[in-house]
Amino acid sequence: MAIQRTFSIIKPDATKRNLTGKIIAKFEEAGLRVVAQKRIRLTLAQAQEFYGVHKDRPFFDELCEFMISEPIVVQVLEGEDAIAKNREVMGATNPAEAADGTIRKEFALSIGENSVHGSDAPETAAEEIAYFFSGLEIVG
Ligand code: ADP
Ligand code: MG
């Protein structure tokens, strides 16, 4: 597998509880490098666009309100097989189903407030990275 880049968000429940360092450490321990990072606050329109794929799901409004409730940290992670590795370190969407040692098992509060986002495929990784970062902001 080649070196890949993927997009990651440290979500409001985690920034609120001052967990950014502990979460970044999990990525670094797994061999992923942070090659771009910033702390931002999403607008409602940005949250709705970012999660547009879920717009017909019953949890969509709740999800968007949650994503704008506190600052988030957006980042690009780089490494061998980074897209799959990031999803592995994150753990299952529902923390009750997440494996031991994963971020969501250790830190998530619920299926909605689950501490991290990670791209699910090369196409979404490329789109999500480009939405938040210019090429000049990514330094490998
Ligand atoms: P993942 O973040 O693991 O890729 P999804 O893409 O399925 O998961 O969902 C996006 C986000 O929507 C989840 O991370 C979570 O914050 C929220 N979410 C998913 N399912 C539910 C649910 N049943 N109830 C509330 N929020 C949910
Ligand atoms: Mg997803």
From 64, 89, 117, 129, the catalytic residue: 117
This prediction's pTM: 0.98
Percentages of the chain per state (helix, strand, coil), in multiples of 5: 45, 20, 35
- Three-state DSSP at 72 gives strand
User: 44-81 pLDDT, tens per residue?
Assistant: 999 999 999 999 999 999 999 999 999 999 999 999 99
User: Over the chain (140 residues), what is each successive 10-residue block's mean pLDDT?
Assistant: 96 99 98 98 98 98 98 98 98 98 98 98 98 97
The answer to whether 88 and 30 are in contact (CB under 8 A) is: yes
Ligand 1 binding pocket mutation candidate from 51, 59, 127 (most atoms within 8 A of CB) = 59
pLDDT at 98: 98
Select from 111, 118, 114, 43 the least CA-distant residue to 81. Answer: 118
- How many CA within 13 A on the CB side of residue 5? 17
